[in-house]
Amino acid sequence: MSTQLEVLKQHLIDPEVCIRCNTCEETCPVDAITHDSANYVVNADICNFCMACISPCPTGSIDNWRNVLKSQPYSVEEQYTWGELPAQGTIAVPATSESDSVSATPPKAGPASMTQPAPGDDTAGEASGIEVDVVRGSTMPPWSAARPYVNLYTHKAPITATCAGNYRLTANETGGIDTDVRHIVLDFGQLPFPVLEGQSIAVLPPGETAAGRAHHARQYSIASARDGERRGYNNLSLTVKRVTPSDKGDTDGGICSNYLCDLKKGDQVQVIGPFGATFLMPNHPNSHLLMICTGTGSAPMRGMTEYRRRRRAPGKGGATGKLMLFFGARTKEELPYFGPLMSLPKDFIDVNFAFSRTPGQPRTYVQDVMKKRSTDIAAMLKDDNTYIYVCGLKGMEEGVIQVLADIANESGQPWESLWKKLKDAGRLHFETY
């Protein structure tokens, strides 16, 4: 007698990348997605693979799949306990006296002990001794971070903010710079919207897609301190880059960034969030911040820097830790907040710029400038009070990780173990998009 081997490509969410924004849960038409205080998970018994949740997810963490035996998917309870996704393994079909029959209790995909590839499993065989080739950041906040509020406002019940200001940050319209990055202030009036530096919000742009569905929310990092863009006011700021058609000739994108960049003072904006419970700053006053960013990735760094500046004032917390910033842009005219950054006291923050398109100058990227400052970075890496934040375009991650690894190894701090220590202690954070 032989039993049919039924394999399920199980839909899973990567807990290391997910920012717990709730978009997928609200999008799923059959309520297959749920969450607890730790993770967002997909119930294999309910998911019908409609794929409605895939494109709205701002991080791509929703787009993960593992082959498992249909009779033994990862349960919701099990997924709640994960700190990372299990590796894709092969599905064991233990030999029995009944030739090709399947064991009643074969293991699930994952452990390297699995032996026989499942039908249609094109990643089978990579499971044994699989190496994590991507350096991931922490899935927990710094121990001293303030406790964040998340998901207070949802797609079904958003909060209405009022645009209190919209200023162009990158050279003015006649300055010959195409890149349009805006500093946008949103005010929440009398409604509660508590945030921390490093969190983000999402904006629901008005209108519909060509298919007649509401546009999905887009995520934006908060660029101000927890006590308001203007201290004591119930407002926050964003740093938004106007997205323009790519050279592929697209014509139907840039929905939310163009909407935000065109806001006038007094316009109303539908907001959800706040989101993010890990990319948060430490609160102990002697903690050091090593901040590395490009373009609008400067938004959370601005919020953290401003909060530290406010706490540094006599009688306001006496923060003494070091701040070191590496900030990359094409030219200084395209670097948001260039002027204000230049005017910060040198004994408060150590600012290092990298410009990749300054006429007549060699192309310089953040990792090049970091290399030049390797002695100081190595000293910061040695200090258990140092917290690292990387934010900006996806493409920057690899170069930054490489240079951190080189500096660590060359200063006698083996990167493999240092990375693990930083990650486990909530001291290494990435937010790239």
DSSP secondary structure string for all residues of 264-302: -TT-EEEEEEEE-SSS----STT-EEEEEEEGGGHHHHH
CA distance 279 to 428: 9
139 is an interface residue for ligand SF4 by CB under 6 A: no
Q: What is the 8-class DSSP label of residue 358?
A: -
| Nearer of residues 52 and 255 to ligand SF4, judged by Cβ | 52
| Nearer of residues 87 and 299 to ligand FAD, judged by Cβ | 299
CA distance 278 to 255: 28
- When binding is defined by CB under 6 A, the residue of 10, 61, 235, 257 that contacts ligand SF4 is 61
Stretch that binds ligand SF4, among 2-10, 40-48, 228-236, 288-296 (CB under 6 A): 40-48
β-pairing, 218-221 vs 40-42, is: unpaired
What 3 state SS string does 211-234 have?
CCCECCCEEEEECCCCCCCCCCCC
Name the residue number minimizing CB distance to ligand FAD: 253
CB-based contact 297:304 (threshold 8 Å): no
- When binding is defined by CB under 6 A, the residue of 2, 4, 45, 49 that contacts ligand SF4 is 49
Whole-number minimum distance, CB 298 to ligand FAD, in Å?
8
Angstrom CA distances, 171 to 168, 187, 363, 374, stand at 7, 25, 20, 32
18 is an interface residue for ligand SF4 by CB under 6 A: yes
Whole-number minimum distance, CB 77 to ligand SF4, in Å?
17
- When binding is defined by CB under 6 A, the residue of 40, 82, 387, 415 that contacts ligand SF4 is 40
If contact means CB under 5 to 8 A according to the sort of partner, which of ligand FAD, ligand SF4, none does residue 13 touch?
ligand SF4
Whole-number minimum distance, CB 424 to ligand SF4, in Å?
22
Which chain residues interact with ligand FAD by CB under 6 A? Answer: 19, 58-59, 200, 218-221, 239-241, 243-246, 250-258, 296, 299, 431, 433
**Residues labelled as active-site residues:** 220-221, 391, 431, 433
Whole-number minimum distance, CB 181 to ligand FAD, in Å?
7
Question: Residue 334 has which token pair?
Answer: 């395209």
CB atoms within 10 A of CB 8: 18
Burial 37-63 (b: 16+ CB within 10 A, else e): ebbbbbbbeebeeeeebeebbbbebbb
DSSP secondary structure string for all residues of 64-107: EEEEEETTSPPPHHHHHT-SSPPPP-PPP---BTTBTPPPSSPP
If contact means CB under 5 to 8 A according to the sort of partner, which of ligand SF4, ligand FAD, none does residue 245 touch?
ligand FAD
62 is an interface residue for ligand SF4 by CB under 6 A: yes
> Helix, strand or coil for residue 172?
coil
If contact means CB under 5 to 8 A according to the sort of partner, which of ligand SF4, ligand FAD, none does residue 323 touch?
none
202 is an interface residue for ligand SF4 by CB under 6 A: no
Give the binding site for ligand SF4 (CB under 6 A): 11, 13, 18-24, 27-28, 30, 32-33, 40, 42, 47-53, 57-59, 61-62
